Structure formats: C-alpha cells, structure tokens
Amino acid sequence: MQLQEILYTQGFGTRRVCAGLIQQGLVQVYMPNEGPAPVTIVQAATEFVAEGLRFRVQGVDWPYAERAYLMLHKPAGTECSQKPSTYPSVYTLLPSPLRMRPQKAAVQGVQAVGRLDQDTTGMLLLTDDGKFIHRMSSPKHHVPKVYEVTVKHPLDDKQVSKLLSGVVLDDDPQPVRAAACEAVSEFHLRLTLTEGKYHQVKRMVAAVSNRVEGLHRSRIGGVSLPADLAPGQWRWLTEAEIAAVQAKA
C-alpha cells in the first residue's frame, strides 16, 4: 500500500494532505533493516506492507491499525457525546487522527462503546469497528461490567441480597439483577452488571433505599482499568485485551 494511502486510512487527512506531509519530510517509517531510528520518506507513493508498520508523523509515533480499539480512563465532568451539551466531550481527549479516521461501516472515527454519565469515571472503550460496538452493546452477549459504587448510607446484607435477587425499576416490570455484588466496605459497593439500562446502577441502588454518591467503572469483560492509566489518558488495546473484553459472564 502506498504510504499516502496508509496515512489516509489512519486519519491524517485527505490523500492530498497526507501526500503533502510526506513530501515535506514530516513522515518517518521504522524499517528494521535500517536500524532502530525511523527513516524519512519523501515519496508519497512509496509502497509498504501496512500490517505491523510503525511510523512517525510530525514527531509522534503511530502503529498501523486496520481498526482502532482503545481504552480511555474517562474523567468526571466529561460527556460521551460528539456534540456535548454542558461538559467537554471525551473525544477532545483523543488526538485528531483517531477522531478523523475514514468512515467504515457507517462509523466515522472512533466511537464510544456505550456511554458513561458526565459524573461517572472509569473504563471506556472506543473503536471504529461497528460490529464490535454492536456486540459489546448488545445485552444478548452478557458482557460483565464492574462498577465501584460509593453510596450515601451504610450498606447492609439486606441491600446486597436484594440487588442479587432482583429489584424492579419504574420502567420495567421484570426484576433487574446484579450478576455479582459485594459490600467492599461500609460505603463501597462493587456491582457487576451484564445489561446497560439507562442510569441502571443509580436506579438499582435507589431501589434498595440508598443513593449513589460516586460511580467508577473498573472492569469490562476480562480486562480491568490499569492503575497506571490516569484520568484523561488513553491507550491502544492489545489483541489479547480485545478478546478478553468480550468475555461473557
């Protein structure tokens, strides 16, 4: 694949813009046979094998990714929306190429897999793979999501038992059950859900006569939010993590 086409698929602009970046000497490619330092390429039509390619654009290193799969530590005071109403969008935390990747399967750039409320923190997945978004968002697949919940009133065994046996929410006569639930401490509840109803954690906790004061998603499927990924930071998912986050309960 031509280098200008590779840059285009990775969100660096139109093909003309990508060709211009290359011709201006702003693109380097890591070539194992040439040593550890990247080599500047100035011919936009230079051919490379895209899979496994690593390159540098304007001083920033990038891996080639046919599809982008990311993990973001969502901070409080941000909205999971391209057009936020009150708070900054989580998408502003990502570099432009990830937000500008060409449209694939009706998805323009990376999109959040599900949403977290503006005051909720923790693990958020983003991708430009429409099938992955559908799979992760579908309640049929029962992908567990773990939430660390700070509550207003002291927890007791009765509340935990009710959350495990099922509570009725005001918009659904069918009881909603936690896949797992434990009182980590007097005011810290660890709740595992396999569904994604609107404000589900807050409404379930309210249904057992308590109130959510703080909410943090710590795990999706078989992958936990890394301790060294600070709020507002993102990183690529590994192949093993892509498989693990889809693990069913």
Q: Which residues are catalytic?
A: 117
Both structure tokens of 148? 């660390």
> Rounded to a whole number, what is the distance in angstroms from the first to the last CA of the chain?
40
Residue 67 CA neighbour count, 13 Å, CB half: 17
User: What's the rounded Cα separation, in Å, for the pair 166 and 160?
Assistant: 10
Find where tokens 């057009």 sit: 83
Is there a contact between 152 and 206 (Cβ–Cβ < 8 Å)? no
Q: Long-range pairs for 58-66 at CB < 8 Å and ≥24 separation?
A: 58/21, 58/26, 60/95, 62/10, 62/97, 63/236, 64/6, 64/10, 65/10, 65/236, 66/9
Is there a contact between 22 and 44 (Cβ–Cβ < 8 Å)? yes
Is there a contact between 79 and 87 (Cβ–Cβ < 8 Å)? yes
DSSP lists the bridge partners of residue 146 as: 192, 219
User: What's the rounded Cα separation, in Å, for the pair 11 and 28?
Assistant: 16
